[in-house]
Amino acid sequence: MPFRLPLAVVVATVSALVFSTTGLAEDPSPHQIGDEDLNSTSNSFQETAPQEAAHTIRHWVGQSTNPVNGVTYSYSIVGADPTSEEGSATIGVDIVPVNLTIAGRSFDGSASVAGVLASPLFAEGDYSTTAAASTSGGAKGAGGSLSTGNNDVQLLDAEMRSEFNEVGTSYHLTLQRPQVHAPITIAVPTAFGTTLTSRGGVTIGDVDVTWLQPQVEALTAQLHYLKPNRLAIFLTKDVLAYVDNNPMHCCVLGAHGSIDTTGAAQGEEQDGRQRVQTFVWSSWLTAGFFNPARQWARQDIHGLSHELSEWANDPFGTNTVQPWFSPAAPQYGCNNLLETGDPVLGIGFSQGENPFDQNSFSDGTYHPEDEAFLPWFMRSNPNTTSQPAQDSANGRYTFMGALNPFAFFHQPPPGC
C-alpha cells in the first residue's frame, strides 16, 4: 500500500530566491524569483489502518462527540490512554540519516543528527515560559508564560500532557534515546531535483515529492532493522520538496506516514500478523532560507516538531474530523484530517539552547512549532480536556495558548 503524506506545504517567504536550473532547463544561469511567484500547494498519499492484532506502534483508541454537528469521531493516538491507569509510554526511535546529492551539491542528513539529538525533541526542558514567540506577521516577538508546570520533559511529552490536561501527573509520552543508523546515500536524478538559494546565501535542495515519496516508502521495507513497534525517522538536512512537478510549488517541510511491511518481515515476527510501520521524514533547516522577518520560526527542528506531533495524534492517517479551515494556512483548504501542525503552520516559539548550525540569522535557540489540540478539531466549548490557557479558566486550543498571535486559535474554528 502507498502512504499518505500530510504535507507541510508552505510558500517560501524569502526576500528573493536564486533558482538553479541545473538539470531542469537548458539555460544554467540563476533566476531571481520573488515571493509572489511561489505558489503553495498540497498533496496526499494513502496510509495504512492496522488490523486489530497488528504489530505496530503502541496506541490507544478514543472517541469524542462534536457538539456542533453531533457526530462522534473515533481516533487513534500514540502511547497510553491518559484517562487510564497505564500512566505512561516510552516509544523506541530509529533515526536513518539520508544524504542526498541534488544538482551536483551534497545535502547530508548525517550533519543534522547531533543537533536533533540535543534538541527539545529528545532532551528534557522547562516549558513554563518561552523567551520568544511568533508575531501575527511571522517575525520574532515577545515570549511569556507558556505551559506552567511542564518541567523536565521532552517537547512532545509537554504537548501531550498539555493537550489532555495531565501536567503534573504520571502521564507521559516519551521518545527513547534514538538508535542512529548508518546513513543512506542517494543521488537525485536531474529531472527531479534542483536548488534554491536565498539572498542570505542559504541553499536548500528542492526535490519532486513524486520522486521522494517512493524512496522513503521503499526504505521502510528494505531496512530490516526497522521494527513496527518503533518510530522510524528519515532525517535530511536543508532538503524540501515541491509538488505538481513544478520546482516553484515549494516547499514541503516534511511528512509522516504508515505502511504495511508484512511481506518484508524477517525471522522473529513470522506469526501471520500484519506489520504496520509508522515513520516520519523531515529536514533540519538552516536559519535564513525563510525570511526571518516573515517566517522567523521556520528553522532547525521546526518541520520535524510539526511531523512528530502529527504522528503522535494521527499515527495511521485514519483520524478524521469535521472539516476545518485555517486563515494561517489557507493552502490546506477545507480539510477533514486531525493533523495538529497544519492549521498553525509556521507559528512557533523559542526553546532551549541551540549551538548547532548557527549563522547571522540564528538566535541560539530551537524553534518548535505550535500544535493544535484535539478540542480545537472537536469544537469543544467549553474545553475541559486541555490545560487551561494562560489567561483563562477554559482549556487552551493550541500548545501556545494565549501566546499564539491569532485570536482564531483561542476558540474552536467555524465550519467550512
Distance CA 47, CA 3 (A): 4
Mode of pairing for the β-strands spanning 140-145 and 129-134: antiparallel
With the CA atoms of 170, 172, 177 and 178 taken in that order, what torsion angle do they form, in degrees rounded to the nearest 10?
160
Cell of 139: 517575525
Identify the residue whose cell numbers are 495538529.
Answer: 340
Q: Which of 212, 207, 211 is nearest to 239 (CA)?
A: 207
- pLDDT tens-digit series, residues 178-224: 999 999 999 999 999 999 988 778 899 999 999 999 999 899 989 99
Phi, psi of 171 (to 5 degrees): -75, 130
Compute how many other C-beta atoms are within 10 angstroms of the C-beta atom of residue 7: 24
Q: What is the residue-wise DSSP string for 185-246?
A: EEEPPGGGEEEEEETTS-EEEEEEHHHHHHHHHHHHHH-TT--TTEEEEEEEESEEEESTT-
Q: What share of the chain is helix, strand, coil (3-state, %, to 5)?
A: 15, 30, 55
Check the CA dihedral 80-50-275-120 and report its sign.
negative
Per the DSSP assignment, residues forming a β-bridge with 320 are 337
Give the integer Cα–Cα distance in Å for 128 and 285.
26
Q: What is the pLDDT of residue 313?
A: 97
First to last CA, the chain: 31
Q: Is the CB of residue 17 less than 8 Å from the CB of residue 30?
A: no
- Say if residues 304 and 121 touch (Cβ distance below 8 Å): yes
The Cα-based distances of 212 to 2, 3, 188, 217, 241 in angstroms read 13, 12, 9, 9, 8
Residues 115 and 354 sit within 8 Å (Cβ to Cβ) = yes
Give the Cα separation of 337 and 193 in Å (integer).
29
Q: Please state at what angle helix 302-313 crosses helix 155-163, rounded to 10 degrees.
A: 50
CA distance 345 to 152: 26
pLDDT of residue 31: 28
CA 63, CA 257: separation in Å to the nearest integer? 22
The predicted structure's pLDDT at residue 197: 86
Q: Give the β-pairing of 276-284 and 230-237.
A: parallel
* pLDDT score recorded for residue 12: 36
**Contact between residue 394 and residue 410 where contact means Cβ atoms under 8 Å apart:** no
In whole angstroms, give the CA distance from residue 412 to residue 408: 8
Above pLDDT 90, what percent of the chain?
76
Low-confidence ranges of the chain (pLDDT < 70): 1-46, 264-270
